Structure 1
Amino acid sequence: MEKDDATDAEEEFDATAAAHPFTESISRRLAETLAELDTLTTGLANAKEELRAATRVVRSRDRSVEATVGSQGQLVDLRFLDNKYRTMSPTELSASVLEAASQARDAMSRHVVRTMQPFTEPRLGMPHMEGFDIDWADIFGPGVLEEPAGPSARKGRESLRDEIHEDGEE
């Protein structure tokens, strides 16, 4: 009997909405908002699933090390390529490992930002949902919004590379 009462109430509301343009407008806007919310929820679920499986692989500039990071920036694989590590000093090798891991983590951070950015912006179908102001630089560091200059370029590491080179000469 409760189900019949609910159905009767819905029919009565629909009949009232048809009789009053203001109520019809609210009903239409509510339906559009719910549809937009459903689209947003589905999009977020898809983004979450995609990010859960995402990885980024980067090689060091000297092509001696390849680092793979997961979606949370964790190092999931580290490979030493072409046995180059055998001829490298410990300082050179550690710099290559850090460079590759850091670049891979930065690439993953940029991927997360690009994936989540649409969900932070205002929704056209939802005028009261203004979006979110997320400080990505605060979460991932100041370089997250900058694309790298080249395939393996990284700002801030040149001095380290120079020191290693200088150490090798001495």
Structure 2
Amino acid sequence: MSGTSMEQRIAQAMAELEAVQAAVARAEAELGDASVTVRSKDRSVEVTVGPQGELASLRFLGSAYRTMEGAVLAAAVMEAAGEARTRMARQVKDTLEPLTRASSVVPELPGIEVDWGKIFGPDVLGEEDGEDDGSAAARRRRGGRRLRDEIDEDPEGDDRA
């Protein structure tokens, strides 16, 4: 920026700041109405999550859920909810990521720093494109498959507390 006056630099910085503020407002508006819907692999459950990963809707599809063991149904719900949260987290990250970049016009304006793990939890964004890369998210996916085998339902009428 050598060769520009202080007034020009201030004007550029103010224009950049206004552009960032407008981008933040657009991101907030876009994400405020965002949701992601995912069906479980067995197509028995459909889960919708909102922009903060909160469960917004849970639907049981068809009638298969009526004959499913509780542990299997619970695993289907958890699978769909986990995948929906991961997809929503990626959407949020993709929307906000441009705001993390330093200004190309005003080098003194750094991008915002975001700790994605703190926002979404350490496992949510640990995978890319469903690859099993040894990450915590991949381990969680494998653990979710084990859930179907390891959960035992309490027998009906078992009143132990």
TM over 0.5: yes
Q: Return structure 1 stretches of 4+ with deviation > 4 angstroms.
A: none
Q: CA RMSD in A?
A: 2.3
Gaps of 5+ in 2: 132-137, 153-161
Amino acid at match of 1:160: L
Q: TM-score, normalised by structure 1?
A: 0.75
Identify which of 96, 114, 139 aligns with 2:76. Answer: 96
1:116 and 1:92, CA in 2 relative to 1: closer, same or farther beyond 3 A? same
The CA deviation at 1:156 is: 3.4
Query: Which residue does the alignment assign to 1:77?
Result: 57
Q: Deviations over 1:98-138 (max 9, x none)?
A: 11112111211111111111111211112111223322112
What is the CA–CA distance in structure 2 between the aligned matches of 1:31 and 1:130, rounded to whole Å? 17
What is the CA–CA distance in structure 2 between the aligned matches of 1:55 and 1:37, rounded to whole Å? 29
The CA deviation at 1:163 is: 3.2
Moved more, 75-84 or 154-163: 154-163
Q: Does residue 149 in structure 1 map to residue 150 in structure 2?
A: no
What is the CA–CA distance in structure 2 between the aligned matches of 1:87 and 1:60, rounded to whole Å? 16
Query: Which residue does the alignment assign to 1:52?
Result: 32
Query: Which of 1 and 2 has greater Rg?
Result: 1
Pairing 1:6-155 to 2, within 5 Å after superposition: 25-143=5-123, 144-149=125-130, 154-155=141-142
Equivalent position SS for 2:16: helix
The CA deviation at 1:162 is: 3.9
Query: Which residue does the alignment assign to 2:148?
Result: 161
Amino acid at match of 1:89: E
Gaps of 5+ in 1: 1-21
What is the CA–CA distance in structure 2 between the aligned matches of 1:75 and 1:69, rounded to whole Å? 5
Equivalent position SS for 1:142: coil
Contact 2:75–2:144, Cα closer than 8 Å, also in 1: no
What is the CA–CA distance in structure 1 between the aligned matches of 2:51 and 2:122, rounded to whole Å? 18
What is the CA–CA distance in structure 2 between the aligned matches of 1:57 and 1:103, rounded to whole Å? 9
1:147 and 1:155, CA in 2 relative to 1: closer, same or farther beyond 3 A? farther
Contact 1:58–1:100, Cα closer than 8 Å, also in 2: yes
Query: Which residue does the alignment assign to 2:155?
Result: none
Equivalent position SS for 2:143: coil
